[in-house]
A = this chain, B = another copy of it.
Amino acid sequence: MPLSARNQLRGQVKEVIRGDVMAHVVVQVGENEIESVITRRSADEMDLRPGDTVSVVIKSTEVMIQK
């Protein structure tokens, strides 16, 4: 099912740091690393681990431009 979020980039999980409520996830996307903060619950339910193939998903209204 397509999602309206315009940014959906494939990559591989490099690191998952689980905190009490939040988790910090680092994903390698091409030559870049993209970092994400999600709930600890989602990280656990998705069983996120280094090496997993995932997509990072970002709504376009959350993206800024620097020139």
Q: Known pairs A37-B60, A55-B67, A56-B65. 12 more at Cβ < 8 A?
A: A4-B39, A4-B66, A17-B21, A18-B21, A19-B19, A27-B65, A30-B31, A37-B63, A46-B67, A58-B62, A58-B63, A58-B64
Q: How many copies does the complex hold?
A: 6
Give bound CA distance, A13 to B3, whole Å: 14
Size bin of chain A's contact surface = 35 or more
Give bound CA distance, A18 to B58, whole Å: 21
Give bound CA distance, A6 to B2, whole Å: 17
Give bound CA distance, A37 to B58, whole Å: 12
Chain B residues in 8 Å Cβ range of A40: 24
